[in-house]
Amino acid sequence: AQTVTQSQPEMSVQEAETVTLSCTYDTSESDYYLFWYKQPPSRQMILVIRQEAYKQQNATENRFSVNFQKAAKSFSLKISDSQLGDAAMYFCAYAAAASGTYKYIFGTGTRLKVLA
Amino acid sequence: NAGVMQNPRHLVRRRGQEARLRCSPMKGHSHVYWYRQLPEEGLKFMVYLQKENIIDESGMPKERFSAEFPKEGPSILRIQQVVRGDSAAYFCASSRVGNTEAFFGQGTRLTVV
């Protein structure tokens, strides 16, 4: 069975600094997708970034980038120039493509605090 | 184009009552997923539906829980005879055919008293 592990329950970063959130996963599939979602206090799940496993190039979205290490099954999120609005829970998620159903498997989350 | 709409946002039920949670997917989306988030935990998959079909219900508790997505109208997650352990946030997500990206609603927070 596939699993997603986020080993950092909480992280803190100074405003304008860079922080990296860790995520590892376990799967025997070769075709899958990985996601980072942000959940602010409003509870809304907001997609931050996604990565297709067949792509070697790491995905980037403005201040957000990932370090995807397929062999190590690692998918970390780097947030550059952190802003107060980045404070939230961050969830790593996996979805296998082969089954035809794209149900997500989520990690337990990392709470990010941004210090002014 | 409105996002995924869930209602109600907050629902309080006494033990033994029924809870009905509604989800209207985004326009053009025919796939609906339900997830449950217990306090301080990640989202856990419950069920995946297409119009009039349950495709995968491997995450649904065997008793008291049911889901439907009729030809017309919203998807409904029904919890019968609620217990305190059912207190959680329930999220609905929708996607297009063949698309891995799912869009989430704001969730329904169910509190059982």
Which residues does B88 contact at the CB level (< 8 Å), separation at least 6?
B36, B37, B38, B39, B109, B110
pLDDT bucket at A100, cuts 50 / 70 / 90 = low
Residue closest to A2 by CA, chosen among A78, A102, A115, A111: A102
Of residues A33, A91, A106, nearest to B100 (C-beta) = A33
Tens of pLDDT, residue by residue over B67-113, are 999 999 999 999 999 999 999 999 999 988 777 778 999 999 999 99
Q: Does pLDDT of A82 surpass 80?
A: yes
Residues from chain A that touch B99, judged by Cβ atoms under 8 A, are 102
User: Residues of A numbered 55-84 whose beta carbons fall under 8 angstroms of chain B's beta carbons: which are they?
Assistant: none
CB B23 within 8 A of CB B9: no
One DSSP character per residue, B35-102 reads EEE-TTS-EEEEEEEETTEEEE-TTS-SSSEEEE--SSS-EEEEE-S--GGG-EEEEEEEE-TT----
User: Residues of A numbered 17-46 whose beta carbons fall under 8 angstroms of chain B's beta carbons: which are they?
Assistant: 33, 37, 42-45
Q: Do A45 and B109 touch (CB under 8 A)?
A: no
For residues A23 and B32, what is the distance between their CA atoms, to the nearest angstrom?
A: 26
pLDDT bucket at A101, cuts 50 / 70 / 90 = low
Of residues A50, A103, A109, nearest to B56 (C-beta) = A103
The predicted model gives A8-33 an average pLDDT of 95
Which position has the token pair 């986020």?
Answer: A6
Q: Label residues B59-78 b or e (16+ Cβ within 10 Å = b).
A: bbeeeebebbbeeeebbbbe
Q: Label residues B20-45 b or e (16+ Cβ within 10 Å = b).
A: ebbbbbbeebebbbbbbbeeeebbbb
Residues from chain B that touch A102, judged by Cβ atoms under 8 A, are 31, 95, 99-100, 102
Q: Does pLDDT of A99 surpass 70?
A: no
Residues from chain A that touch B106, judged by Cβ atoms under 8 A, are 42-44
Which residues does B107 contact at the CB level (< 8 Å), separation at least 6?
A43, A44, A45, B6, B9, B37, B89, B90, B91, B92
Of residues B44, B56, B106, nearest to A44 (C-beta) = B106
Mean pLDDT estimate for chain B: 93
pLDDT bucket at A98, cuts 50 / 70 / 90 = low
CA of B64 to nearest chain A CA: how many angstroms apart?
22
Coil, strand or helix: which one is A74? strand
A105 and B CB contact within 8 Å: yes
Residues from chain B that touch A23, judged by Cβ atoms under 8 A, are none
For residues A21 and A109, what is the distance between their CA atoms, to the nearest angstrom?
A: 10
Residues from chain A that touch B41, judged by Cβ atoms under 8 A, are 108-109
For residues B41 and B45, what is the distance between their CA atoms, to the nearest angstrom?
A: 12
